């Protein structure tokens, strides 16, 4: 594949395009071998940052066998280093095995496992203060969107993060806007719907955290992104990449990674 212009992987504000795979609770030794195969084959545009969210049990194996241009991320972690928290994993443990990226606040954590805005803020704080980069997810449900509450919900989720972390932490955050109604449903937000919310998120960060921080922060879109839908979405000025669930398990992920450069 020929990358027409490397510069197109950057927005006018110099934000590097970033695409993440979120494997969720999927994968086996066999299927992971196949995924690593297509990631190695690529080719991946050199100016796109790529990460994959991997279930805890496979993290070390994937970290050992992944190509150098792909970062390995955990899909969750807890808010303290160690202790009586059966079933939990801490940033200290992830760092111990060489993993320093984590996805936090995914809507499945919020809605299936009952994680509150406050807990997600605390997790972001602990992870970042201990040297991790966090992909922090926000997004509204269908009822909330239909009730005209999209901004209210997203600003509340952002505030819970901002309330817990200092300004200096924001360079270690990538935001992911994932409308809950679009996740795993085959209903991708239209490029205009996504852009509208991305712009609101950027404005909120500029006004409530800092102008420079709002300009620099990267905001991924997630929710049924496919090889077909990624091209138009990637043209929107405030969409800086994607967080991809189902399609990240398939070779189609490479098309999404290269959305901005093909």
Binding site for ligand PGA (CB under 6 A): 22, 178, 183-184, 222-225, 243-247
The one catalytic residue among 49, 122, 178, 252 = 178
Nearer CB in complex with ligand PGA: 241/245: 245
126 labelled catalytic = no
Nearer CB in complex with ligand PGA: 140/209: 140
Nearer CB in complex with ligand PGA: 22/195: 22
Taking the complex as a whole, the smallest distance from the CB of residue 103 to ligand PGA amounts, in Å, to 8
Q: Give the C-alpha separation, 7 to 42, whole Å.
A: 19
Nearer CB in complex with ligand PGA: 19/217: 19
Q: Of the candidates 186, 175, 188, which has an alpha carbon nearest to the alpha carbon of residue 238?
A: 175
Taking the complex as a whole, the smallest distance from the CB of residue 228 to ligand PGA amounts, in Å, to 13
Q: Give the C-alpha separation, 7 to 91, whole Å.
A: 34
Taking the complex as a whole, the smallest distance from the CB of residue 56 to ligand PGA amounts, in Å, to 17
Nearest residue (beta carbon) to ligand PGA: 245
Taking the complex as a whole, the smallest distance from the CB of residue 224 to ligand PGA amounts, in Å, to 4
Kindly give, in sequence order, each residue whose CB lies less than 8 Å from that of residue 12, ignoring residues fewer than 6 positions away.
Answer: 237
Nearer CB in complex with ligand PGA: 197/247: 247
The one catalytic residue among 49, 75, 106, 115 = 106
Taking the complex as a whole, the smallest distance from the CB of residue 225 to ligand PGA amounts, in Å, to 5
Nearer CB in complex with ligand PGA: 18/247: 247
75 labelled catalytic = no
Taking the complex as a whole, the smallest distance from the CB of residue 184 to ligand PGA amounts, in Å, to 4
3-state secondary structure the chain: CCCCCHHHHECCCCCECEEEEECCCCCCHHHHHHHHHHHHHCCCCCCCEEEEEECHHHHHHHHHHCCCCCEEEECCCCCCCCCCCCCCCCHHHHHHCCCCEEEECCHHHHHCCCCCHHHHHHHHHHHHHCCCEEEEEECCCHHHHHCCCHHHHHHHHHHHHHCCCCHHHHHHEEEEECCHHHCCCCCCCCHHHHHHHHHHHHHHHHHHCCHHHHHHCCEEEECCCCCCCHHHHHCCCCCCEEEECHHHHCCHHHHHHCCCCC
Report CA torsion sign: 58, 64, 65, 70.
positive
Catalytic residues, which ones? 106, 178
């Amino acid at each position: 594949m020929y990358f027409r212009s490397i510069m197109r992987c950057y927005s006018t504000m110099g934000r590097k395009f970033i695409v993440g795979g979120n494997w969720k609770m999927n994968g086996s030794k066999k299927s992971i071998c196949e995924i690593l195969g297509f990631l190695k084959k690529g080719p991946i545009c050199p100016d796109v940052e790529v990460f994959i969210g991997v279930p805890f049990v496979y993290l070390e194996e994937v970290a050992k066998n992944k190509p150098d241009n792909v970062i390995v991320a955990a899909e969750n972690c807890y808010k303290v280093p160690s202790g009586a928290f059966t079933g939990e994993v801490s940033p200290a443990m992830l760092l111990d095995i060489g993993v320093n990226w984590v996805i936090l606040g995914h809507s499945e954590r919020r809605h299936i496992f009952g994680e509150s805005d406050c807990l997600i803020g605390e997790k972001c704080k602990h992870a970042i203060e201990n040297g991790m980069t966090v992909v922090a997810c926000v997004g509204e449900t269908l009822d909330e969107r239909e009730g005209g509450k999209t901004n209210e919900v997203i600003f509340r989720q952002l505030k819970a993060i901002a309330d817990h972390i200092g300004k200096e932490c924001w360079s270690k955050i990538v935001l992911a806007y994932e409308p809950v109604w679009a996740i795993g449903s085959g209903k991708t937000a239209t490029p205009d719907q996504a852009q509208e919310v991305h712009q609101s998120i950027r404005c909120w960060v500029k006004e409530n955290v800092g102008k420079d921080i709002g300009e620099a922060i990267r905001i991924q879109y997630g929710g049924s992104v496919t090889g077909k839908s990624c091209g138009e979405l990637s043209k929107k000025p405030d969409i800086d990449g994607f967080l991809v669930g189902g399609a990240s398990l398939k070779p189609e992920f490479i098309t999404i990674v290269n959305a901005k450069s093909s």
